[in-house]
Amino acid sequence: MKSGRKWNCILQSKWTFMVPSLTGTFVFAVLPFLEVLRRSLWDEKKNFFSVVNYANLWENEAYRLAVKNTVKFVGVCIPLLLVLSLALALGLFQSRWMKFLKSALLLPMAVPTAVVVFVWKLIFFKEGFLNMFLGLFSLKPVDWLGGEAAFFVLVISYIWKNMGYTMVLWLAAMAAIPKEMLEAAKVDGSNGIQSIHFMVLPSLKPAFYTITIVSFLNSFKVFREAYLVAGSYPPKTMYLLQHLFNNWFINLELGKISAGGVTMAVVFVFVTLLLQRMWDKPE
């Protein structure tokens, strides 16, 4: 009887709800990450607290290439994605076929990357659809999968996949604009473009920051497309951080990989904290 009550007391404690998840998080994420942090600060001669791994990282040409490509990719993709998806969302917002069009635009998000690899090859092949299409305007065919242009295959894949997602984020932000405000503007005689310019866009400003950050975080998933289209050793312009990490991993260069991981983690923690400050700001 007494022990039964004790058990019930433990079961009812709020910690019973949280201990399983907390244990999982600490075992699979926090503790191993601390171990990696320790390793990154350890050089071969077992001197604690040396920055030799980080210094090696910076001198590594492959690392600089991967960072450069990643930064370039983020710099090109995110503005493009934000503008295109905002334009689509503004159109959808006033469209009568909203439900149907939204499904169609969101669909690519659900399509597994492996499924489109074959189709990507058809489209981006030297004699493929995209070049045939460009041929209609008598433009020169481009070797999409080989040379410099491989970068654009990544950009197109990323935009194709994330367009619907970002659009839904914009639409959610637009749904928060009070309907009365828009109707009042209509009664006062403003046309569609005026009300977009003076009312919709300004009220999307807080959403703009968070959508930018979320898109940035998602852009690191583009490795899947890069890997499936071009394999482990892609053209130089497509070489991303994940390729580099995979190659280090195969060669067991744990010092480099831990220093690289920690550096990235620092960037991500910074971006995340920024995102949280956006959320906490009263609107």
Partner 1 sequence: MKEFLYIKGKKIRKICLRYLGDIILLGAALLMCFPILLLLTGVVKSTGELKDGLAPILGIGEGRIHWNLLPLYPTGEHLMDILLFKPQFHVVFWNSMKITACILAGQLFLAAPMAWGFARFSFPGKKVIFTLYVILMLMPFQVMMLPSYLILNAMDILDTHMAVILPAMCSTLPVFLMYQGFASIPKECIEAAQIDGADNWQVFMHLGLPLGSGGILSAMVLGYLEYWNMLEQPMTFLKTTAKFPLSLFLPQISMEQAGMVLAASLIMLVPAMFVFFAGQDYLEQGIAVSGLKG
Q: Using CB under 8 A, which residues numbered 160 to 189 contact partner 1? A: 160, 163-165, 168-169, 172-173
Q: How far apart are CA 263 and CA 189, in angstroms?
A: 54
Q: How far is the CB of 236 from partner 1 (least distance, A)?
A: 19
HSE-up (13 A, CA, CB side) for residue 87: 5
User: What three-state secondary structure class fits 190?
Assistant: coil
Q: Using CB under 8 A, which residues numbered 184 to 223 contact partner 1? A: 207, 210-211, 214, 217, 220-221, 223
HSE-up (13 A, CA, CB side) for residue 49: 0
Q: How far is the CB of 90 from partner 1 (least distance, A)?
A: 9
The correct pick among 5, 12, 45, 136 for binding partner 1 (CB under 8 A) is: 12
CA 75 to chain centre: 12
Is residue 214 a contact partner of residue 169, using CB atoms and an 8 Å limit?
A: yes
Residue with the two structure tokens 């074959």: 118
The correct pick among 65, 82, 185, 265 for binding partner 1 (CB under 8 A) is: 265
- Cβ nearer to partner 1, comparing 83 with 271: 271
Q: How far is the CB of 1 from partner 1 (least distance, A)?
A: 18
The correct pick among 7, 205, 268, 277 for binding partner 1 (CB under 8 A) is: 268
Count of residues binding partner 1 (CB under 8 A)? 97
Other beta carbons within 10 angstroms of residue 19's beta carbon come to 11
Q: Using CB under 8 A, which residues numbered 88 to 147 contact partner 1? A: 88, 91-92, 94-97, 101-123, 125-129, 132
Q: How far is the CB of 242 from partner 1 (least distance, A)?
A: 5
Dihedral (CA of 280, 281, 282, 283) sign:
negative
The correct pick among 78, 86, 150, 257 for binding partner 1 (CB under 8 A) is: 257
The encoded tokens of residue 54 equal 């980080």
User: What three-state secondary structure class fits 237?
Assistant: helix
Closest CA to 118 of 129, 109, 102, 107: 129
42 binds partner 1 (CB under 8 A): no
- Cβ nearer to partner 1, comparing 167 with 235: 167
Q: How far is the CB of 156 from partner 1 (least distance, A)?
A: 11
Q: Using CB under 8 A, which residues numbered 50 to 69 contact partner 1? A: none
The correct pick among 51, 134, 184, 269 for binding partner 1 (CB under 8 A) is: 269
Closest CA to 58 of 68, 48, 45, 49: 68
Q: How far is the CB of 64 from partner 1 (least distance, A)?
A: 16
Q: How far apart are CA 124 and CA 152, in angstroms?
A: 10
The correct pick among 201, 233, 249, 277 for binding partner 1 (CB under 8 A) is: 249
